[in-house]
Amino acid sequence: MGKTPEWGRRLAGRLSAFLLLAVLLAASGPFQTLFVSSVLAEPFVEDVQFIPPKLPSDVDPYEPAHPEDLQEEQLYAKAAILIEAKSGEVIFEKNADERMYPASTTKILTVLLGLMMGDLTAQVTMTDTAADIPDDSSTIPLDVGETINFKDLLFVTLMRSGNDGANLIAETISGNINDFAILMNQAAAMYGCTGTNFTNPSGLFNNDHYTTARDMAKIAQAAMANETFREMAKVYTYSLPRSNLHRSRVLVSQSPDFLNPNLEGNEFYYPYAIGVKTGYLNRAGYCYVGAAEKDGVELISVVFYTTKSGRWTDTKMLMEYGFSEFVSMTPVELYNKNPVVVETSGFSMEDEDLGRLPLEIRPTEGARQIHIVATRTEMEAMARNLKQTVLIEYTRSFNAPITQGEVMGKMIYYPADGGSPVEYELLASRSIARRLNAPKTLEEIEAEVYADPNPFPPFSWELLFVALSPFAGLFIVIRLLLRLFRRTGRHRKGRVPKPGNRYFR
């Protein structure tokens, strides 16, 4: 091979030097962010303005007196969903699988993971990295170097929507924000989310930080199943104890409208509300994940990209729709819609109901209180077909006499969630007298036999008559049959002609 020309060697050397310089610049200086941001998913500065959504001009006006007639077009929210909290059954939805930016509703999962994986008694200290948030961020606020109890941190982060608090939770659990985001996505997948990706614990805007209304409802359902989270979700004021840098102070929620009945001029207070979290970004619009409970029915709602007041009005309309569709009953209330009626025997001829006996119900001692939540239609069907819903066992015969309040059997209800069965006693609702000449029941005969020490019953003409009656009857039948056969034979013998000869007569 020929030698490389001198000018070629110079060009190669210059190219190598340029490439080396590029690598060094990428490792430090202004180019570092360019190379690392795609990996660490740094938050983007919002460069758009929020455009409030409007209702279609031809939509029918919402009628509060008829919440069951709610239509998708009557919600300002671009995406929404309503579920029953225990079962997760979807009651209402609008664009529930559309990708949306969740804003600060992200903190629901952040706080839940803190509850599940953190030490609630630990003391944690605000770091420089946790406090590194945009100037317009919502904060608790906590100063760098300030020490706070971890449980208090969770409370005020959720209530104040503090981005500084969310970052500190992430660092406490995972060491840094990026590892915590990985944990968030693993948890979301565990809860059944299929359209969700989180890049930070606070909800700051990032193109790759998104979810759906359906997924967020699943996360909220898991959170509201945690008793400590439920306690946090409905708090709108919190007394933060004295720290190493601050005196004790009372913090107030930045958006208490749905929960606080004492807020002056608050037209959005909802008496059944029990939480949970607001959110807002220009690209996300106003968001709210709500929870409400009424008469044993618990609902969870999500509204994404709605108006400032629409997050409350949309949520209220969803909740009222759900409460109009779903009801809650105890097994006792369900049974009383269609009580069991049994037919007794041996009752007095003076009994006006001819022995019909409705059975009353009562919980057994120590039975836990449970509720059945279903649509009104489903509940009516369960009441009509009670024996397909519960197991009924009778512990006593239906022979009179029967005393009011006497235990006749039991009803066993098996919860749909797989919990332990609950037993109830079935009682006689009234007394039924016995007919004077009523034959003895099998139980009475057995009782008399077992009570008599003599294995052979005493002599009795009545007993002898009863014992011999079948034989006497059989004897009479046989005699009659024999007599009948004899008569038939004679009759036939008399009709047979005698042989004769026509020639000799």
Supply the residues annotated as catalytic.
104, 107, 161
Q: 75 pairs with which residues across the strands?
A: none
Residue 70 DSSP label? -
Give residue 483's identity as a one-letter amino acid code: R
Contact 338, 100 (CB under 8 A): no
The CA-atom distances, in angstroms, between 249 and each of 237, 240, 412 are 10, 5, 52
Give residue 470's identity as a one-letter amino acid code: P
Residue among 276, 283, 285, 284 nearest 307 (CA):
285
**Cα–Cα distance between 379 and 67 in angstroms, integer?**
20
Cα torsion 230, 236, 240, 246: sign: positive
- Ranges of beta strands (E only) in 325-421 are 326-329, 341-343, 356-363, 372-375, 391-394, 407-413
The three-class DSSP label of residue 139 is coil
Q: Determine which helix (DSSP H) or strand (DSSP E) holds 107, and give its type and residue range.
A: helix 107-117
Give residue 124's identity as a one-letter amino acid code: V
**Cα–Cα distance between 292 and 273 in angstroms, integer?**
4
Q: Determine which helix (DSSP H) or strand (DSSP E) holds 20, and give its type and residue range.
A: helix 6-27
Give residue 309's identity as a one-letter amino acid code: S
Q: 240 pairs with which residues across the strands?
A: 249
Contact 413, 421 (CB under 8 A): yes
Give residue 126's identity as a one-letter amino acid code: M
Q: How many CA atoms lie within 13 A of 28 on its CB side?
A: 3
Query: Cβ of 21: how many Cβ atoms within 10 Å?
Result: 10
Contact 406, 388 (CB under 8 A): no
Residue among 285, 313, 236, 259 nearest 104 (CA):
285
Q: 392 pairs with which residues across the strands?
A: 411
SS (H, E, C) 155-224: HHHHHHCCHHHHHHHHHHHHCCHHHHHHHHHHHHHHCCCCCCECCCCCCCCCCCCEECHHHHHHHHHHHH
